Structure 1
């Protein structure tokens, strides 16, 4: 089958929209405290480098997300900005900035901070799945090594 440039562009736009929708599921999962939805977007063997220890791990378990969510009163909100998505065949790459806001259980006040996120996805059995994700906060290079959670885009 031969495709035209217009068909290729339409397919790419549809794939980009599907990737954006899948990434938006994280925000919905955190807002509704749905651990199963939070991990449904990952491939079972995804390599994850996220904000919490350890330095990295394979796979994402709903039980771990559920335990993490239990440490908050109310929703955890995730806002994404400056999201760029590139799709090529069955692979996609996305990066942007995210802001997490929440109120820790029993705390009088909540917190809000920005962090960086890079996500690699693969189309598997017709569906996009996260196969690699890296989130990080910059740190102050003044010898204090404090996380720079006060930065804003």
Structure 2
């Protein structure tokens, strides 16, 4: 992975998180592929395409009013090849922490989010 790719991906993910904190829908959607897929915590568990993805934010913003603690990348690790990359880490939403995995594709020289997976750990026992 080149340092340039890692820097571009990290900057793009930070801008995405900032757009969520700012409740900036154009910024939230700006760097996703049209055919993106997301697996999320609330129903629907799977969303395909930008229209379905956009609708998931209506539910999120029903409970979150944005602001500095509403959506933060706590940890993020990035692995990138020539045209595919993965990022995974911990996402902070208000007082909770959840897992985040993002799959990216390079399209026309720009990294785009093609897959998101959000999950909460579940205690067993």
Q: Would you call these one fold, judging by a TM-score over 0.5?
A: yes
- Tell me which residue corresponds to 2:93: 100
1:87 aligns with 2:70: no
Moved runs in structure 1, 4+ residues, more than 4 A? none
Contact between 1:35 and 1:66, CA under 8 Å: does it hold in 2? no
Match of 1:52 in 2: 42
Partner of 2:109: 126
**C-alpha separation in 2, matches of 1:93 and 1:27:** 16
How many residue pairs were aligned?
122
Q: Which has the larger radius of gyration?
A: 1
Distance, in Å, in 2 between the alignment partners of 1:45 and 1:138 is 27
- Work out which structure has the larger RCO, using CA pairs closer than 8 Å and 6 or more positions apart in sequence: 2
Taking structure 1 as reference, are residues 36 and 90 closer, same or farther at Cα in structure 2, changes over 3 Å only? same
Q: CA RMSD in A?
A: 1.9
**Please, what TM-score do these two structures have when normalized by structure 2?**
0.86
Partner of 2:61: 69
- Unaligned runs of 5+ residues in structure 1 are 1-8, 102-111, 143-153
